[in-house]
């Protein structure tokens, strides 16, 4: 059947199996050749694509919960949304929440996803105490920071290329309310928003929307959103089902919609310099989840998301160069998401490193692909890299320059029977075995 | 807190329904032919909040085991408020046309086993004078079509049996619910091409729970199938027989 990632580019023809247990996973991997794991398909490009795909959404059982410590053990196909629905009413929250709750625990580990709290709490796998991994030879092994640590470091952020994540244990964090106290700050330019991030380094959550079309002295004008868990109030989980987008819509619509939303806030009376209000957590963390299939808003050709990180040292100069390039092209989405990362962890292919990360969408077209190649060079020159789970097009050279530990990653894969057993369309493009 | 028996509890629709009941703290007894999977589901439902979860294997085509299985479930739950029958197979229509033994097996699984279970459950509920018997049928039971009329005949037979049982148990104050899902994306329909009319099992589960709470007799799920089937049943047979459906 035809499969694609969230960006709907590229599309490939795949043979898909739907295991519902570890034993069925092992059986689906049987025979020669390689497979790729897939969760909820929220990676944008070709990370979860390949000729043979294991759709792991059927591995969706909770396996254990320790009321005293908040450690949850669950199968790899459990979604973060399911965890929130069950545990928020009991006063527990995810340690790290990405911009959508429709991702699986396996996918969150394989991409080592980050949230709006990276600067204080690190990424998802920093809160994972153990993983049960199905290796290419059919063996099931427990890996953790202390058991087979090199395999743990390769698996976290390893894009499914070391084995199938059957289950994992993660530490939930206690909350007293399902509400978030959100403060929005208006920043007229890039220096102002970076300074505002600095001033608020102690905030639990922070992220900025940045207007990519602003140029000259307005370059980098942004809205910075800060969040804190409310101290009291109902422990309510999201119940509303998302609104469907049943048809592909003309490209460009999304840009007009986001532009008017941004401008309304930026210039609106409600927001002078700063506004504080209380909102449900889902609206703070996953605003786009209110609309199912919003990727169809980009139309049939699909889109790519470009997310890079620049080390803090490259700082403002690097960001200004990239933003200037994008604004001049007039091609990107109206909004980009800007975030300050804390220090990197010890995983081989984990994306975050101390510095600035920016993500924005581009409709797929030849001029855009050329523009992105140019941006790759700017990012590389500043010692940055691209996020694998968003990527559909980077070159092998760009990957290897951005992820200098790739050889270490490959040697762990070789030792643990992964080579020739786990591969994606992306891993082949990037020159991994 | 309610005491709920689910037969065919490894079904994706049944499991999604059990999750909603678990979140409400109810006690569950799960029956199905895959004991290992039932145990995994039980652990999961326990974490989701179920009061208690009992499991035991049951192959519904072992008709002789039905009476004891229901007795044992009632003992485990200490009574029974809701029974949901969910099992089913979507047999190969073409194979059934070639080989009656295949057709008989489909009819056994989808109709005769259900009728046997309903016989035991009906008597028990009539005596206890309260509770709900709910059975998952299908919109396919509303009209015969060349592509799946063996399955459709089984679901249709169950629907008519349920009408009679509902009529009989009304005096005892027992709810008898016929659930008619449309296109649901589960294992059963894995190989079908999916369009906009398809929904996930969670949607069906929510409708099942609210139809039981609302004391409904028949529920089409999602709701639009009630109108779609009204239209389909209204087509004259003279025309219907010429369609490729
Ligand atoms: C609207 C939106 C917002 C997002 N916001 C953020 C964000 O804020 N921060 C962030 O970090 N990411 C974000 N993402 C990206 C998303 O979190 C990641 O792509 C995540 O990995 C998707 O999980 P999935 O279950 O959909 O996995 P898939 O997309 O299906 O797969 C992703 C990768 O994980 C591997 N994988 C999946 N399951 C397993 C398993 N059980 N065992 C082994 N490997 C497995 C696949 O092989 C593939 O390499 C966002 C995505 C969207 C669509
Ligand atoms: N999916 C749809 O589009 C759709 C539409 C209308 C109606 N329905 C009905 O919905 C119900 C649930 O189906 P589903 O969609 O949830 O699919 P499913 O997950 O395949 O469920 C079918 C269940 O029936 C069980 N079963 C089959 N034969 C059995 C036997 N001899 N003994 C015990 N259990 C047996 C299966 O058990 P195993 O786990 O052991 O295989 C499985 O759990 C069925 O009655 C189906 O006819 C489905």
Is A260 a residue whose pLDDT tops 80?
Answer: no
* pLDDT score recorded for residue A334: 83
- H helix count then E strand count, chain A: 13, 20
Q: Does residue A21 belong to any structural domain of this protein?
A: no
Quick check: A166 and A134 in contact, CB under 8 A? Answer: yes
Quick check: B158 and B114 in contact, CB under 8 A? Answer: yes
E strand or H helix at A390: none
Q: Which of A18, A61, A246 has the CB atom closest to B196's CB atom?
A: A246
Q: Does residue A402 belong to any structural domain of this protein?
A: no
Both A189 and A98 in a single domain?
Answer: no
* pLDDT score recorded for residue A270: 63
User: Which of A235, A61, A3 has the alpha carbon at shortest distance from B38?
Assistant: A61
The ligand placed nearest to the CA atom of residue A154 is: 1
The ligand placed nearest to the CA atom of residue B85 is: 2
Tokens of B79: 């009574």
- Pick the residue whose CA is nearest to atom 34 on ligand 1: A107
Q: What percent of chain A has pLDDT over 70?
A: 97
- Give the 3-state secondary structure of residue B122: helix
- Burial of residue A146 (CB within 10 Å: 0-12, 13-18, 19+) is exposed
The pLDDT of B36-64, averaged and rounded, is 98
Compute the distance between CA of residue A308 and CA of residue A372 in angstroms, rounded to an integer. Answer: 11
Both A166 and A207 in a single domain?
Answer: no
The pLDDT of B94-123, averaged and rounded, is 98
The pLDDT of A164-173, averaged and rounded, is 98
Both A139 and A258 in a single domain?
Answer: no
Binning pLDDT at 50, 70 and 90, where does residue A125 land? Answer: very high
- Pick the residue whose CA is nearest to atom 45 on ligand 2: B88
Q: Does residue A401 belong to any structural domain of this protein?
A: no
Interface predicted TM-score (ipTM): 0.94
Is A239 a residue whose pLDDT tops 70?
Answer: no
The CATH number given to whatever domain includes residue A70 is 3.30.465.10
* pLDDT score recorded for residue B20: 97
In this structure, of A94-98, B30-34, B83-87, B190-194, the range with the lowest mean pLDDT score is: B190-194
Q: Does residue A166 belong to any structural domain of this protein?
A: yes
Strand-pair category, A71-75 with A164-171? antiparallel
Both A164 and A193 in a single domain?
Answer: no
Boundary of a domain, candidates A129, A156, A175: A175
C-alpha distances in angstroms, A13 versus A3, A422, A423, B187? 6, 17, 15, 20
Binning pLDDT at 50, 70 and 90, where does residue B202 land? Answer: very high
Question: Minimal Cα distance from B199: which residue of A?
Answer: A244
Both A186 and A124 in a single domain?
Answer: no
Both A191 and A163 in a single domain?
Answer: no
DSSP secondary structure string, A114-155? --TTHHHH--GGGGEEEEEEE-TTS-EEEE-SSSSHHHHHHH
Q: Does residue A82 belong to any structural domain of this protein?
A: yes
Q: Which of A62, A64, A244 has the CB atom closest to B48's CB atom?
A: A62
Both A335 and A267 in a single domain?
Answer: yes
Boundary of a domain, candidates A150, A175, A200: A175
Interface mutation target, options A65, A66, A86, chain B, most CBs of B under 10 Å: A86
The pLDDT of A104-124, averaged and rounded, is 98
Both A117 and A209 in a single domain?
Answer: no
CB contact, 8 Å: B196 with chain A?
A: yes
What is the CB < 6 Å shell around ligand 1?
A 6, 36-43, 47-48, 56, 76, 98-100, 103-104, 106-108, 110-111, 113-115, 159-160, 164-165, 288, 389, 424
- Which residue do the tokens 């689906």 mark? A28
Q: Does residue A16 belong to any structural domain of this protein?
A: no
CA distance A229 to chain B (A): 24
Binning pLDDT at 50, 70 and 90, where does residue A241 land? Answer: low
Both A123 and A227 in a single domain?
Answer: no
The pLDDT of A323-335, averaged and rounded, is 87
Binning pLDDT at 50, 70 and 90, where does residue A400 land? Answer: very high
Q: What percent of chain B has pLDDT over 90?
A: 97
The CATH number given to whatever domain includes residue A198 is 3.40.462.10
**Residues on chain B touching A246 (C-beta within 8 angstroms):** 196
> Where is pLDDT greater, at A212 or A64?
A64
Both A90 and A212 in a single domain?
Answer: no
What is the CB < 6 Å shell around ligand 2?
B 8, 10-13, 32-34, 59-61, 86-89, 109, 136, 138, 181, 183-184, 186-189, 201
Tokens of B116: 């046997």
* Residue-averaged pLDDT of chain B: 97
Question: Minimal Cα distance from A89: which residue of B?
Answer: B23
* Residue-averaged pLDDT of chain A: 93
Tokens of A83: 């965890």
The parent domain of residue A150 ranges over 62-175
Count up the domains in chain A and report the number: 2
Q: Does residue A81 belong to any structural domain of this protein?
A: yes
Longest dimension (CA), chain B: 55
Both A194 and A319 in a single domain?
Answer: yes
Compute the distance between CA of residue A307 and CA of residue B206 in angstroms, rounded to an integer. Answer: 38
Q: Which of A18, A63, A241 has the CB atom closest to B43's CB atom?
A: A63
pLDDT, tens digit (0-9, with 9 covering 90-100), for A49-58 = 999 999 999 9
Q: Does residue A34 belong to any structural domain of this protein?
A: no
CB contact, 8 Å: B195 with chain A?
A: no
* pLDDT score recorded for residue A294: 82
Boundary of a domain, candidates A118, A148, A175: A175
Is A9 a residue whose pLDDT tops 70?
Answer: yes
Both A74 and A113 in a single domain?
Answer: yes
């Amino acid at each position: 059947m035809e499969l694609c990632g969230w960006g709907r580019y590229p599309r490939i023809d795949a043979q898909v199996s739907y295991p519902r247990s570890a034993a069925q996973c092992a059986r689906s991997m049987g025979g020669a050749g390689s497979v790729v794991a897939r969760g909820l398909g929220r990676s944008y490009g070709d990370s979860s694509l390949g000729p043979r795909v294991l759709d792991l959404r059927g591995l969706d059982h909770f396996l254990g919960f320790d009321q005293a410590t908040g450690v949850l053990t669950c199968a790899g196909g459990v979604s973060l949304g399911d965890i929130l629905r069950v545990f928020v009413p009991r006063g527990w929250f995810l340690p790290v929440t990405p911009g959508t709750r429709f991702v699986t625990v396996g996918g969150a580990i394989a991409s080592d996803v980050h949230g709006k709290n990276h600067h204080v709490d690190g990424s998802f796998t920093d809160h994972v105490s153990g993983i049960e991994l199905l290796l290419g030879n059919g063996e099931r092994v427990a890996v953790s920071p202390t058991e087979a640590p090199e395999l743990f470091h390769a698996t976290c952020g390893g894009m499914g290329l070391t084995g199938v994540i059957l289950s994992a244990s993660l530490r939930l964090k206690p909350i007293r309310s399902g509400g978030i106290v959100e403060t929005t700050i208006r920043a007229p330019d890039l220096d102002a928003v970076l300074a505002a991030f600095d001033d608020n380094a102690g905030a639990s959550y922070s992220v900025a929307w940045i207007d990519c079309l602003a140029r000259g002295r307005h370059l980098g004008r942004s809205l910075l959103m800060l969040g804190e868990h409310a101290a009291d109030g109902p422990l309510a989980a999201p119940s509303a089902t998302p609104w469907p987008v049943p048809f592909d819509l003309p490209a460009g619509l999304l840009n007009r919609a986001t532009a008017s939303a941004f401008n309304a806030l930026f210039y609106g009376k409600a927001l002078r310099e700063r506004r504080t209000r209380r909102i449900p957590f889902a609206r703070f963390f996953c605003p786009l989840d209110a609309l199912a299939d919003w990727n169809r808003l980009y139309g049939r050709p699909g889109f790519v998301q470009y997310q890079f990180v620049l080390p803090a040292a490259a700082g403002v100069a690097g960001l200004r160069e990239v933003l200037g390039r994008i604004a001049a092209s007039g091609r990107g989405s109206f909004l980009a998401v800007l975030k300050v990362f804390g220090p990197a962890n010890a995983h081989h292919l984990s994306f975050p490193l101390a510095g600035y990360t920016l993500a924005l969408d581009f409709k797929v077209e030849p001029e855009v692909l050329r523009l992105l190649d140019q941006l790759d060079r700017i990012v590389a020159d500043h010692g940055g890299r691209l996020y694998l789970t968003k990527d559909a097009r980077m070159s092998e050279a760009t990957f290897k320059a951005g992820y200098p530990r790739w050889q270490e990653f490959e040697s762990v894969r070789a030792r643990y029977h992964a080579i020739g057993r786990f591969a994606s369309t992306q891993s082949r493009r990037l020159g991994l075995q | 807190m309610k005491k709920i028996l689910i037969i065919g509890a490894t079904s994706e629709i049944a499991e999604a329904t059990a999750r909603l009941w678990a979140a409400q703290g109810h006690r569950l007894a799960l029956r199905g032919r895959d004991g290992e999977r039932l145990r995994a589901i039980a652990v999961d439902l326990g974490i989701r909040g179920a009061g208690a979860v009992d499991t035991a294997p049951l192959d519904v085509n072992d008709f002789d085991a039905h009476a004891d299985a229901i007795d044992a479930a009632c003992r485990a739950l200490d009574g029974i408020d809701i029974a949901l029958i969910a099992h089913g197979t979507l047999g190969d229509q073409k194979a059934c046309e070639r080989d009656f033994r295949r057709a008989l097996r489909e009819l056994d699984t989808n109709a005769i086993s259900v009728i046997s279970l309903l016989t035991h459950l009906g008597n028990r509920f009539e005596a206890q004078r309260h509770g709900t018997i709910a059975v998952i049928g299908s919109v396919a039971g509303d009209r015969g079509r060349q592509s799946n009329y063996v399955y459709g005949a089984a679901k249709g037979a169950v629907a008519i049996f349920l009408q009679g049982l509902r009529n009989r148990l009304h005096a005892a104050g027992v709810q008898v619910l016929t659930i008619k899902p449309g296109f649901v994306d589960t294992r059963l329909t894995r190989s079908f091409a999916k369009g906009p009319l398809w929904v996930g099992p969670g949607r069906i589960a929510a409708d099942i729970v609210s139809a039981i709470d609302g004391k409904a007799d028949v529920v089409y799920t999602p709701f639009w199938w009630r109108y779609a089937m009204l239209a389909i049943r209204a087509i004259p047979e003279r025309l219907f027989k010429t369609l490729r459906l």
